[in-house]
Chains A and B, each alone.
Chain A
């Protein structure tokens, strides 16, 4: 699927008096107190933000419905995005007055001040020739009475949700100083059926659960997918030949192939940040080690040699290091090594077992599952210090980072029933919510922001 998203305006005006400047300054400090600084700033920056329906100059029919209806849907998507980030309290679009098309660029500040909103997101939808839409969005500071940001996007009609995500991303980035993440996709495992006969299918969806699509039919168990950095292929584990093996699935053609011809089980696949190398685990005679292989095939390179289970792993964003899990000390713990396998050292200490390490795309933190009593998702710095638990449930597992490294998804398993669901939590651990999936879901894998 070839998507064209053309940015036709991107004008960020001077930001005065918003918390964005202060926030950005603090989180960019690479000091030891960084994590605590984030916590404080995020709490202070939750903002009430009014989001009326996007207006349209003239209601026009499109393949996705009238532009007036689309305007309402787009503002709803934006509100849902911002609410899910944990940083905003959107007001509307329901229950908020409609804004006329001329008013989009001339907001009635006193009215919105009276609505107790700090900021206002206003915008429009206009039908263009060739089954396209123009979506314009504007961010205003209600108290200061000025425009903070504006952006516009021309998209094929079927991609109207992407225009909404891009708009939300623009606003999120402007206010927080963080990189965008809403216009991204998730690969995961859709689960149905009873605990002892679970059907597990590879599925993909947008970061908010929309545009859902099943990829495999469930005849064989599928596990642990990972989108390639360009979204064109998915690594995942399948039992399609009776053995657990990693395949690379081409999204456009639907074809798939084994990543290596070895007869041994292969699992826990990951892409390198440049998409050229596949990291995986392979068991030989019961002993599991971490390997890597070129995406074009060739000879795999064995990276670990310790007796015991060395498994999983994820690259640092610059590709120079790999964080992985090993029970060489007697229990699952987290280790870091250079990308060629040298200089392996344990970084997780502090009680319990540590598993499923996942390097943040920002490079500053490693997310993990901590096992000790329950299964909880947390983060630590890349040297193992600063452990912070973000969730507290019976079984939370397998964190995956939002492309901006500020939000984490994971899956939660219910005791006894074994039912699974995908959840999202921000780095404060305060804002936690369940993702809407058509059936139960596990093994989420978040892809990068789309171009």
Chain B
């Protein structure tokens, strides 16, 4: 996936206003159950002991980007980064720019309504779409690893559209 220069610059200029936007964009996500601990510590951000958080760590990342902002969501069979995803990833990129030594893994996931192999490929596509956007914002490609879990690691457990929409996701995890 490529972005035109103009579009990228506009996106970067928007960074300053993302905090406000993020607050609005989060609304729908806030209605959802808290992330399960299965996604490598995503749940630890509720730890009130925030003062003990090591700068540049996964805990710091989650606390900095805000609730639910460690992930972006996709439509069925899609992997495009929409404007809302861009805002989330811009927030993440700001944090990554502050901690240039932080290594990043992006986990790509699919919902259960796809066949297994196709979902592995789709999760990889989604993780790479998120990675490519972060790279377009100036984050070094060498810092970002992708891994697809296909439909193997659902976070919402129902078999309904609401659950599936939560599971079609790319989650950013800080690994060092």
Write the residues of chain A forming the contact surface with B, with a CB cutoff of 8 angstroms: 194-198, 200, 221, 223-224, 237, 242-244, 265, 267-268, 281, 283, 285-288, 309, 311-312, 325, 327, 331-332, 355-356, 369, 371, 375, 394-395, 397-398, 413, 415-416, 418, 443
Contacts and interface: CB of A to CB of B under 8 A. Distances in A.
B112, B121, B129, B152 pick with most chain A CB within 10 angstroms: B121
Nearest to A368: B115
A325 B157 CA distance: 28
A267 B115 contact: no
B112 A416 contact: no
B115 A398 contact: yes
A280 B112 CA distance: 22
A196 B33 CA distance: 14
B117 A268 contact: yes
A371 B115 contact: yes
Interface in B13-51: 36, 38
A312 B119 CA distance: 11
Nearest to B120: A267
A374 to B, nearest CB: 10
Interface in B30-86: 36, 38, 77, 79
Nearest to A268: B117
Contacts of A237: 120
Given A196-B38, A415-B159, A309 B152 contact: no
Contacts of B79: 286
Contact of B147 (A194, A196, A265, A286): A265
Nearest to A263: B145
Contacts of A224: 116-117
Contacts of A356: 115, 117
Nearest to B156: A196
A244 B147 contact: yes
A283 B148 contact: yes
A353 to B, nearest CB: 9
A231 to B, nearest CB: 23
Given A195-B154, A196-B38, A286-B125, A311 B159 contact: no
22 contacts: A195-B157, A196-B38, A200-B152, A223-B152, A265-B147, A265-B148, A268-B120, A283-B121, A286-B79, A286-B128, A287-B125, A288-B121, A309-B121, A309-B122, A311-B118, A312-B117, A325-B118, A332-B115, A371-B114, A394-B159, A398-B115, A418-B154
Contact of A369 (B115, B124, B125): B115
A309 B153 CA distance: 21
Nearest to A267: B120
Given A195-B157, A415-B159, A416-B158, A443 B116 contact: yes
A242 B117 CA distance: 17
Contacts of A395: 112-113
A397 B158 contact: no
Interface of B: 36, 38, 77, 79, 112-118, 120-122, 124-129, 132, 146-148, 150, 152-155, 157-159
Contact of A267 (B113, B117, B129, B157): B117
A248 to B, nearest CB: 18
A196 B36 contact: yes
Contacts of A394: 159
A267 B124 CA distance: 11
A304 B119 CA distance: 18
Given A397-B115, A443-B116, 7 more contacts: A194-B157, A196-B36, A244-B147, A267-B121, A286-B124, A286-B129, A286-B132
Contacts of A418: 112, 154, 157, 159
Nearest to B158: A416
Contact of B77 (A331, A369, A413, A416): A331
Contacts of A200: 152
Contact of A242 (B113, B128, B132, B147): B147
- Minimum-distance CB pairs A-B, first 9: A286-B128, A288-B121, A268-B117, A283-B124, A355-B115, A309-B121, A415-B159, A286-B125, A416-B159
A369 B154 CA distance: 21
A196 B153 contact: yes
Contacts of B126: 286
B152 A332 contact: no
B161 to A, nearest CB: 13
A281 B129 CA distance: 19
Contacts of B147: 242-244, 265
B115 to A, nearest CB: 4
B125 A196 contact: no
A397 B116 contact: yes
A288 B124 contact: yes
A243 B150 CA distance: 12
Give the residue among A237, A265, A312, A395 with the most B Cβ atoms within 10 A. A265
Nearest to B124: A283
A416 B156 CA distance: 10
Contacts of B125: 283, 286-288, 309
A40 B154 CA distance: 44
Nearest to A413: B112
Nearest to B128: A286
Given A195-B157, A223-B152, A418-B112, A244 B117 contact: no
A198 B152 contact: yes
